Amino acid sequence: MKVHLILFASLLISLLVLGGCGGEKKMEPVPVGEMDAYKDPAIGFHVAYPKGWVVNAQVGRASFYNQPEVDRKFLDPQSAGIPGVEISVRMEKNEDAAGAAKKWRDDRTAEGFILQADQQLTVAGKPATKIPFEAHYDKSNVVWGHRIFIPLDSVLCELSFSGFGDRYAAHAAIFEKVLASFELPKPVEKGRDATLPSESFNEYDAKMFTFLQPENFSYVERPKGKNDIVVGIRGVRQDCNILFDVFAAQGLTLEKVVSQNKGKYKGAVEGKATVAGLPAITLTMSATKDVDRRVYFAVRNDKVIRITMDWYKPQRAEYLAAYDKVISSIKFK
C-alpha cells in the first residue's frame, strides 16, 4: 500500500511540474473578422487590417497592433508592457533593394535571432523573399514572426508579421488575409498630371452609406460638431476636397432645407440632381479665384445629406468627371 501511495504521489508531483513548465493552454486561432482599409497618403500603397486595431502611421510606413500599448512592448521586448501582435508595412528608397533581404538576415544573425531558410513567393504580383524568425530576448519574452522583402528597382517594400509567444501562430489566418490584400502603388500614367483625381477608385464606408473615392484622395480629420456624420477627403491639391456631412432635417422638406441654407452660398446657381436615387438640389458657385464649389443637398429619414465638392477651375472637366463617379457610387445602408 505504501508503495502505491508513493507512486501516486510521484505521479501527482510530475503532473504538477509538467503543468507548471509549459502546460499552459495555448491560444485558440483568432478568426478573420471585419477589416478596415489603409492607404498611404503620399506613396499610395494599400493594405487591409483588422477593424479596431491600433494604427501608427506616417508617410511611407504603417504599423498595426491588436491592442493599445503593444507598440511599446515591441520597442522594448523585455519591458513590462503588453505583449501582442504587430503587422507593419514600409516603403522607402533603397539603392540596394535586391540585397536588402541578405543584409537583414546578416544583421539579425549577428543579434542572435534564429532564422529559417529564405522562402520565395509572389506578393502583389512581384517576386518576394520571406524570412521566418525567432527572437529570444529572455525566457518569458520570445517573438516569432516573418519578414517579407519586395525589391522594386531603387525602392524596397517590407512587410513584417510578428507576435509574442503563441500569439503569432494564433493570428496566422489574419496575417494571410492582410498579405493577400496588399497592393503596391499604381504607376502614374505617363504624361498625365499626377495631381488630378486618380482613374482608380476605392470604396469608403461612412457607416450610413458607402461611396467610391479616387485612390489618390486621402482622409482628412474634420470637426464633427452637432453633425451625425462628417467625412472629408482631399486630393493631391490641398484646395480640392469632398466633404460629406449629415445632420437632422427636423421635419423640413428638401426645398425648405435648401432655402434655409442658401444664404451661406452667395452667388450660387441652383440645379437639380439625384443622390443614390434621392432627389437632390445643387448649389454651384465660386469658392475662391481658382476654385469652384458645388454643394448637394438630399433628405432621407429626416436627415440632411450635404456633399460639398471643391475643384481647381482650370481642370474642371477632369475633376467633375471624377466627382460625378463619386456621386453616382453612393449607396445607403
Q: What whole-number percentage of the chain has pLDDT above 70?
A: 91
pLDDT above 50: residue 7: no
251 occurs within a structural domain? yes
Read off the pLDDT of residues 9-34 as tens digits, 9 standing for 90 and up.
444 444 443 444 444 567 899 999 99
Mean pLDDT estimate for the chain: 89
70 occurs within a structural domain? yes
Query: Is 84:77 a contact under the CB 8 Å cutoff?
Result: no
Q: What whole-number percentage of the chain has pLDDT above 90?
A: 75
Q: Are residues 47 and 173 in the same domain?
A: yes
Q: Are residues 151 and 46 in the same domain?
A: yes
Residue 306 C-alpha cell reads as 450635404
Distance CA(30)–CA(172), nearest Å, equals: 8
CATH number at residue 246: 3.40.1000.10
Q: Are residues 173 and 270 in the same domain?
A: no
Q: Are residues 133 and 228 in the same domain?
A: no
Distance CA(189)–CA(156), nearest Å, equals: 21
Q: What's the domain count of the chain?
A: 2
Average pLDDT over residues 298-311: 97
Weakest-pLDDT range from 11-20, 257-266, 324-333: 11-20
Domain that holds residue 290: 201-332
User: Tell me, what DSSP letter sits at residue 333?
Assistant: -
Cβ count near 17 (within 10 Å): 10
Q: Are residues 168 and 39 in the same domain?
A: yes
Amino acid at 132: P
Distance CA(145)–CA(167), nearest Å, equals: 10
**Overall pTM surpassing 0.85 (yes/no):** no
Q: Are residues 140 and 219 in the same domain?
A: no
Q: Are residues 176 and 205 in the same domain?
A: no
Q: Which of 225 and 326 is assigned the larger pLDDT?
A: 326
46 occurs within a structural domain? yes
Residue 165 C-alpha cell reads as 509567444
Cβ neighbours for 141, distance < 8 A, ≥ 6 positions apart: 77, 78, 83, 164
pLDDT above 80: residue 286: yes
pLDDT above 90: residue 51: yes
Q: Are residues 226 and 127 in the same domain?
A: no
* 257 φ, ψ (degrees, to nearest 5): -60, -45
> Which residue from 28, 68, 33 is spatially nearest to 51, judged by alpha carbons?
33
Average pLDDT over residues 284-299: 96
Read off the pLDDT of residues 175-218 as tens digits, 9 standing for 90 and up.
999 999 999 987 766 677 888 998 888 888 888 999 999 988 98
